[in-house]
Amino acid sequence: MKIIDVITKDIRFPTSKEDTGTDAVHVDCDYSATYVTILTDNKSISGIGLTFTIGKGNDLCCRSIDYFKEFIIGKKITDIEDNINLIWNKITNHSQLRWLGPQKGTTHLAAAAFFNAIWDLICKYYKKPLWRYIIDLDTNVLINKLSFTFIEDAITKEEAANIINNKKKNLPKNIDDLNSTIFPAYTTAAGWLGYSDDKMQTLVKDYLDHGWKYFKIKIGQDIKRDIHRCKLIRRLIGNENKLMVDSNQIWNVQESIENINKLKKFDIMFYEEPTNPDDIIGFKKIKNAIPEIKLATGEMIHNKVMFKQFIENQSLDYCQIDSCRIASINEIIPVLLIASKFNIPVIPHAGGVGLCEYVQHLNLINKFIITNNSFELCEYAESCSEHFVNPAIIKDGGYVTPLEPGYSVRIKESSIKKYDFKSGDFWT
């Protein structure tokens, strides 16, 4: 079975109309997907992948992917599977394209979409959901599909293999026993910054009724309003449920320290992205100034080398891996392995378009063959789930294990037809 073409589409959903996704710095998000389809000479099998953006610039990711096609067109799926690390290196270290990164920004988001589609294709070829395909791989075969460049000072391939092999000892004899796993989730969807108090209260009550125990709200534009919202939601959820806040990078280091000191009486489980997402030293300064608080970050950490530094420097307490910011499984699993070695809990970033569908696989890979930390939690926000053929399913406040072959982000044809930014009925 060979690759015959790669098609990209610029899909944009008009979520800004409802204030969905609004936070301190992103005030008018139109949740979007750079949507990749890898066509094969067998019509029944295609690879689907995406990266998530919030509107303008989504076309730039689509355009970048045009430069990657030559590395897979004409190749057999099994050859791509065997050489996926080599192809990953050729694309992320391309001698001309790397000037646009390297391994960050638009080209890296595009690489995420492209490799997400390749992994989807491989898993469909073997008729397995991605999490199961990865767990079933021989450890050394898996390690050789991953990129360890520039992180081997933090974790060697041998250490990585040992972590996986030790975890695999705990797997049940029949792996099908894992199919009924429910992975715990928290919701962000009740507390977007643009929501009124009334809307937030109604949503929080509804989530409580459905068994949710972890809530995150957006803060950061006005500390007086932040205090008011924290007080309100803490009263609604009681002391037994958990509250997290996310200020989406808006404060400088000193403002972060001052504002966190004003909020900590609300028993906040973590403060997400208080300051610039590249400021490894700044995060550490905040932690040093208020040692009793926990910081979370990761959705804008743009590659594995940055994650290495954040984790080794103890600048974060919760690692929020993003399935579409760094370049797919080749780079995500090495970060999960570093987190495991340094005993840092991983709470993947989700919401957006397709992120919940992706992270449900990453949670299970991490839980079953990687993490040495016992804490389990993942973000969930159901934005745009209605557009997916097989959306992530939530039951009792947790993710239901996906069993369909692939990596789960096929968008309905009707949604593509309507929301394609170039030709869709909605935009034209």
* Catalytically annotated residue among 108, 213, 216, 218: 218
Instruction: Choose, by CB under 5 A, the member of 226, 246, 322, 420 that binds Mg ion.
Output: 246
Q: Which residue's CB is nearer to Mg ion, number 81 or number 246?
A: 246
Q: Could you say which residues in the range 114-133 bind Mg ion, by CB under 5 A?
A: none
Least separation in angstroms between CB 247 and Mg ion: 9
Give SS3 for 245.
strand
State in angstroms the smallest separation of the CB of 349 from Mg ion: 6
Assess 322 for contact with Mg ion (CB under 5 A). Answer: no
**Which of 128, 287, 308, 349 is the catalytic position?**
349
| Window of 88-96, 146-154, 158-166, 243-251 that interacts with Mg ion by CB under 5 A | 243-251
Min CB(255)–Mg ion separation in Å:
18
CA atoms within 13 A on the CB side of 120: 25
Phi, psi of 11 (to 5 degrees): -100, 125
CB of 11 or CB of 244, closer to Mg ion: 244
The contacts of residue 269 (CB under 8 Å, 6+ apart) are 214, 242, 243, 244, 294
Q: Are 337 and 160 in contact (CB under 8 A)?
A: yes
CA atoms within 13 A on the CB side of 4: 8
Exposure string (b/e) for 33-69, b if CB count within 10 Å is 16 or more? Answer: bbbbbbbbeeeebbbbbbbbbbbeebbbbbebbebbb
Q: How far is the CB of 367 from Mg ion (least distance, A)?
A: 22
For Mg ion, give the closer residue by CB, 54 or 416.
Answer: 54
Q: Is the dihedral of CA 71, 74, 75, 76 positive or negative?
A: positive
3-state SS class at 12: strand
Residue 77 or residue 200: which is nearer to Mg ion going by CB? 200
Could you confirm whether 412 is annotated as catalytic?
Answer: no
302 is catalytic: no
Question: Of 193 and 333, which CB lies nearer to Mg ion in the complex structure?
Answer: 193
* Summary count for the chain: helices (H), strands (E): 15, 12
Q: Which of residues 51-70 bind Mg ion (CB under 5 A)?
A: none
CB of 131 to Mg ion, least distance (A): 24
| Coarse DSSP helix, strand, coil percentages of the chain, rounded to the nearest 5 percent | 45, 15, 40
Residue of minimal Cβ distance to Mg ion: 246
Sketch the per residue contact string, 367 through 406, with Mg ion: x for CB under 5 A, - otherwise. ----------------------------------------
The DSSP H or E segment spanning 356 is helix 355-365
Positions marked catalytic = 218, 349
Site residues, Mg ion (CB under 5 A): 246
